[in-house]
Copies of this chain bind each other. A is one copy, B any other.
Amino acid sequence: MDVMSAIKKRKSVRSYLAKDVEEEKLKLILEAARLAPSASNRQEWRFVVVRDKKTRSLLMKAAKNQSFVAEAPVVIACCAKTDNHMMSCAQLCYPIDVAIAIDHMTLLAVELGLGTCWVGAFYEQEVKKILGIPKEIRVVELLTLGYSKDESILEKDRKPFEEIVMSEIWGRH
């Protein structure tokens, strides 16, 4: 599948088939994350792959009872082992770099016929407790992964091009 098709087809999947994710597909998806770029090649990302049903249920509770977090056969806790280094532009490296790795995973998942959902609505301390994650590690996102119940391609509800793109200087279209 070409990149633009994957971008267009990707959607937030919140309803999953009971079908498990093949180990080799999961490995490819994590490999896509591993190959992501990061600021000064810091690679602060760390991934805890959860398949255990009971653990997924606990994660669901920590994620404000979003039922698809337990329903998805795989939940990946996307973490950062970070020293909170900032770039000169005054942005922390780790949220951006973990996001790049996750985006790679979401697009490759589409290519492999799988669905994902970025989950930012969770209580970090609860997730850390469930997964035994040390104090100094940040949990940036949970990513659910599995086969979608609904294969349809959604029209994306997005701001028009003109509202987000400017030319040469702020405010000029």
- List the interface of chain A (C-beta within 8 A of B): 1-4, 6-8, 10, 12, 27-28, 30-37, 39, 41, 43, 45-52, 55, 64, 87-93, 95-100, 102-104, 106-108, 110-111, 118, 120-124, 127, 131-134, 137-141, 156-159, 161, 164-171
Contacts and interface: CB of A to CB of B under 8 A. Distances in A.
Contacts of A28: 4
A139 B47 CA distance: 28
Contact of A118 (B2, B37, B137): B37
A27 B161 CA distance: 9
Given A103-B103, A157-B41, A170 B133 contact: yes
Contact of A30 (B96, B107, B165): B165
Given A7-B107, A132-B169, A137-B170, 6 more contacts: A35-B158, A39-B118, A55-B168, A88-B120, A89-B122, A95-B95
A31 B104 CA distance: 17
A6 B7 CA distance: 13
Given A103-B99, A168-B52, A108 B35 contact: no
15 contacts: A1-B3, A2-B2, A3-B3, A3-B32, A4-B111, A12-B37, A37-B118, A48-B167, A48-B168, A48-B169, A88-B122, A89-B121, A89-B124, A91-B138, A100-B102
A27 B167 CA distance: 12
Contacts of A12: 37
Contact of A89 (B8, B34, B139): B139
Nearest to A46: B164
B164 A43 contact: yes
